[in-house]
Amino acid sequence: MSTSYVEFRGKGFWSCDRYLEDVLWVLVGTAIADGDIEWLRTARQHWLTQASGIFSGWVHPKLEEFLVTEDRQRVFFELTDAALCRDDLPPEARATLHLLIALIRGELGTDASSPLNYMVSGQLPYRGLRRE
């Protein structure tokens, strides 16, 4: 399974692409009260493309571009909180989503050269979410 590096403000984590793709796909389809914001519509369109499976080794959510203000980050956390409520979120995607949240909150101290002891792993083959 290929991996991608997710970065925000100089920190980040490595993730198996399929886990990250599922997280982005869930964020695209999760409804929140502030869901009709132009930047969020643009982000969701980008995340949908990134979740398509065609970016092997380079899934890039563009967090630096989309989460440029505290208000946008607040909306992002509303979105991730709602996504965590899904019953069908596989454990690997859920753990990846937790890493993403910790990264945006500034709680993750890893970078591209850090040991990979944090990296999410699971049973193979990864079934993931059914996308229809």
The answer to whether position 23 is within a domain reads: yes
The answer to whether position 119 is within a domain reads: no
What's the predicted TM-score (pTM) here? 0.92
Distance between CA atoms of 71 and 78, rounded to whole angstroms?
11
DSSP per residue over 61-122, as a string? Answer: --HHHH--SHHHHHHHHHHHHHHHT-TT--HHHHHHHHHHHHHHHT-----TTS-STT----
For 62-96, how does the pLDDT look when each residue is reduced to its tens digit (9 = 90+)?
999 999 999 999 999 999 999 999 999 999 999 99
Domain interval for residue 19: 3-105
The answer to whether position 70 is within a domain reads: yes
Domain count, the chain: 1
For 94-104, how does the pLDDT look when each residue is reduced to its tens digit (9 = 90+)?
999 999 999 99
